[in-house]
Amino acid sequence: MLRVVLVLLGLAVYIWFIVDVLRTPGPATRALPKAVWLLIVILLPLIGGVLWLLAGRPKPDRPRRRKRGPVAPDDDPHFLRQISDDAWAEKMRRRREEGESPA
C-alpha cells in the first residue's frame, strides 16, 4: 500500500513539474531555453524536476525586503549614544560653570 502511495505521489509531482515548465513564459526561464527544460523534465523524471526548481524556474517577483530600522527610539543605538553624549556635554558644561564662578 505504501509503495502505491509513493508511486502515485511521484507521478503527481512528475506531472506537476511538466505543467509548471509548460505554464512558465519562455523568456522567464533561467539557464536554458524552455524547450530544453521540458525535455530534461520529461527524460529525467524526478531529477529533471528538481533541477528545474533549482536552476530553471524563474525567481518570484517579490520586492526585496528592506532592513527594518529601530521601532522605538530606545532601540536605536545612535539615539542612545546621542543621549549619552548630550548628558556628558551637559555635565561638563555645569563643571565649567561651577569652576568659573567665584568661590
CA count, 13 A, side-chain hemisphere, 51: 15
Predicted local confidence at residue 99, as pLDDT: 79
Return the H-helix or E-strand segment holding 97.
Answer: helix 77-100
**Contact between residue 38 and residue 21 where contact means Cβ atoms under 8 Å apart:** yes
pTM: 0.57
Predicted local confidence at residue 24, as pLDDT: 92
Predicted local confidence at residue 45, as pLDDT: 85
Give CA–CA dist 10/92, Å, rounded: 75
Distances (CA, A) of 64 to 35, 55, 60, 68, 73: 30, 20, 11, 12, 25
Predicted local confidence at residue 90, as pLDDT: 94
- pLDDT tens-digit series, residues 16-44: 999 999 999 988 898 899 999 999 999 99
Domain map of the chain by residue range? Answer: 2-56, 70-98
Predicted local confidence at residue 91, as pLDDT: 92
Mean pLDDT of 79-93: 91
Query: Looking at the chain, which runs of residues are DSSP E strands?
Result: none
**Contact between residue 57 and residue 20 where contact means Cβ atoms under 8 Å apart:** yes
C-alpha cell, 5: 502511495
